[in-house]
Structure 1
Amino acid sequence: MFEEGQLYSPVVKGPDGAVTVQLTSEHPGVGDPDYRTRRNAIAALALAYRPGDPIPHVDYTDEEHNVWRTVSVELARKHRTYACTEFLESAARLNLPTDRIPQLDEVSAALSPLTGFRYAPAAGLVPLRDFFASFADSTFHSTQYIRHHSAPFYTPEPDAVHEIIGHANQLASPRFADLYRLVGAATTRLETDAALKFLSNVFWFTLEFGVLREGGEVRAYGTGLLSSYGEIEEFRHADLEPLDIAAMGTMRYDITRYQPVLFCAESMSHVEDMLGRFFATMDDDTPLRLAVRGAA
């Protein structure tokens, strides 16, 4: 998970070693002491993890599994209508369980033979540079908690539904996985925060919220759309702009609202070609070069 940390739930560790996830006052689980205890415990497991260790298993409750079942069934139905073929085919190959929340080592075991990607646990927000750079090593940092049972179709923060149903299904496609690795390699070349922000914006409007034309329809390939019960119904009402690296890299967006402007590719090959060239060649001077070119 990534993006502006103040909009998500910070994880803090006290002097006594106690781990606390700080939920906002608007979070559906903020008034549920049992949910807050669960969030703290799951975050503590991830904080204790060290690369090379076995991924910690979460002993999910029946209530948590039921949230996964509810959302999985509804999203699968919507994917058949709104998702692009590349996503549908990769999801079929990965074949995630729909009756229970999979453990992250299960996701890795299914994903690795397909594209080489594996999952690592995250307690919460991963610093943007670290999050993206890990893609170069075919690693995706994922949270393990799930949204509050009172609002199964809503979450104010990326949870297991977004990280697994969204990203793992996308990463099961060699075509998308290669783009992620290019993002990781680009991140290791970047030194300035401005360039990193530009890169993250392009990632946001494509691999998170990208759409493309297919069979005369506009279909989604971005994980933010395909893991959101509400947003997946709304994206066809957005203003569609042509795929434009300079525009995507500089456009402001509000992650708390449905996206009013989306960038539409002409095909999956268009996504691969344009993003592949950009990610493969981006450096700290790229945003300025694009700005000068656009002003000429």
Structure 2
Amino acid sequence: MFEEGQLYSPVTVGADGSVEVHLGADHPGLNDPAYLARRGEIAAAALAWEPGTPVPLIGYTAEENEVWRIAGAELAPKHQRHAHSEYLRGKAALGLPADRVPQLAMVTEHLFPLTGWSYAAAPGLVPLREFYGALGERVFHSTQYLRHPSQPLYTPEPDVIHEVIGHANQLASPRFARLTEAAGAATRRLETDAAVKAVADVFWFSMEFGVIWEEGILKAYGAGILSSFGEMDAYSHMEIRPLDLHQMATIPYDITTYQSVLFAAENLDQLEDVVGGFFDTVDDVSAHRLLGEHAHA
């Protein structure tokens, strides 16, 4: 279980209207004034954006485009080795540029004809109910900033590389897109925060850090794994458990390190039956029953 606030650097607006992003102590850009200013500028564009209007265009610099290019070039061969074929089909269908950061409007333009999804701009953290509620409407709230150029293969927080290479390629698969939409629809009918949290934690161990057996080989489909250069090398060496909704909704985990426990579906059909079935049917009573088992374990 995690607190979603851990996932992002807080964004604040000063009395003078200035926007500041507060990076964590371990962030590579913490002591880089130019990077901090750029992060504030990109966050301000998202804060000023109003839904229903065009998503803000970011004038990405040559350095930012190079970070995207390096990350994409290093992730691509690992995708061929480690990604489930359903993700690879989505990635091929989406066909985003490899040499520059795609604007969120471009992501929507490519994605919407495939699965009906669109991308919206977020300055950073989106409250849990708002983020998942939007998923139920096939809208993905995405950051637009890039990780620090000194470490193009590492980020302590979700950036546009994670949001697009990880999630947009996943959402280009009709089957993965439906699972994601179902998680969002579930949160819209849940009243208690604990039940919403249970859905978010099952989502974490599936759509973010899920693995699946394919022809006897453990493959990744989770966006958190497939957007991480290091995690793709590490995931198969972790403790691999079969799908278990009770464990997925209740075991503690640390978002700042590689996931030590992963849950593997036997195949895509089982993933849809177990995880998709949970998202489709969960209500407050069944969610609390699931969590209540943990309290008595």
Residue 102 of structure 2: aligned partner: 102
**TM-score (structure 1 length as normaliser):** 0.97
Residue 43 of structure 1: aligned partner: 43
**Aligned-pair RMSD on alpha carbons?**
1.5
Rounded Cα–Cα distance in structure 2 between residues aligned with 1:291 and 1:172: 32
CA shift for structure 1 position 290: 3.1
Partner SS for 1:12:
strand
Partner SS for 1:141:
strand
Counterpart contact for 2:153–2:229, Cα < 8 Å: yes
Residue 114 of structure 1: aligned partner: 114
Count how many residue pairs are aligned between Structure 1 and Structure 2: 295
**Structure 2 residue 16 is the aligned partner of structure 1 residue 21:** no
CA deviation map 1:222-259 (0-9, x unaligned): 00000000111100000000001111000111000111
Residue 264 of structure 1: aligned partner: 264
Q: What code does the residue aligned with 2:182 have?
A: L
Residue 179 of structure 1: aligned partner: 179
User: Relative to structure 1, is the Cα distance of residues 33 and 186 closer, same or farther in structure 2, using a 3 angstrom cutoff?
Assistant: same
Residue 61 of structure 2: aligned partner: 61
Q: What code does the residue aligned with 1:275 have?
A: V
**Structure 2 residue 12 is the aligned partner of structure 1 residue 12:** yes
Counterpart contact for 1:3–1:128, Cα < 8 Å: no
Residue 246 of structure 1: aligned partner: 246
Counterpart contact for 2:241–2:264, Cα < 8 Å: yes
Rounded Cα–Cα distance in structure 2 between residues aligned with 1:59 and 1:272: 39
Rounded Cα–Cα distance in structure 2 between residues aligned with 1:209 and 1:24: 23
Uncovered stretches (5+) of structure 1, i.e. residues with no partner: none
Residue 78 of structure 1: aligned partner: 78
Rounded Cα–Cα distance in structure 2 between residues aligned with 1:45 and 1:18: 12
The structure 1 segments of at least 4 consecutive aligned residues displaced by more than 6 Å after TM superposition are 292-296
Residue 276 of structure 2: aligned partner: 276
Rounded Cα–Cα distance in structure 2 between residues aligned with 1:278 and 1:17: 44
Residue 191 of structure 2: aligned partner: 191
Rounded Cα–Cα distance in structure 1 between residues aligned with 2:54 and 2:218: 41
Partner SS for 1:130:
helix
Rounded Cα–Cα distance in structure 1 between residues aligned with 2:27 and 2:223: 22
Q: Which moved more, 1:81-90 or 1:15-24?
A: 15-24
Residue 219 of structure 2: aligned partner: 219
Counterpart contact for 1:246–1:287, Cα < 8 Å: no
CA shift for structure 1 position 7: 4.9
Q: What code does the residue aligned with 1:106 have?
A: M
User: Relative to structure 1, is the Cα distance of residues 274 and 20 closer, same or farther in structure 2, using a 3 angstrom cutoff?
Assistant: same
Partner SS for 1:137:
coil
Uncovered stretches (5+) of structure 2, i.e. residues with no partner: none
Partner SS for 1:42:
helix
Rounded Cα–Cα distance in structure 2 between residues aligned with 1:166 and 1:85: 14
CA shift for structure 1 position 25: 2.1
**TM-score (structure 2 length as normaliser):** 0.96
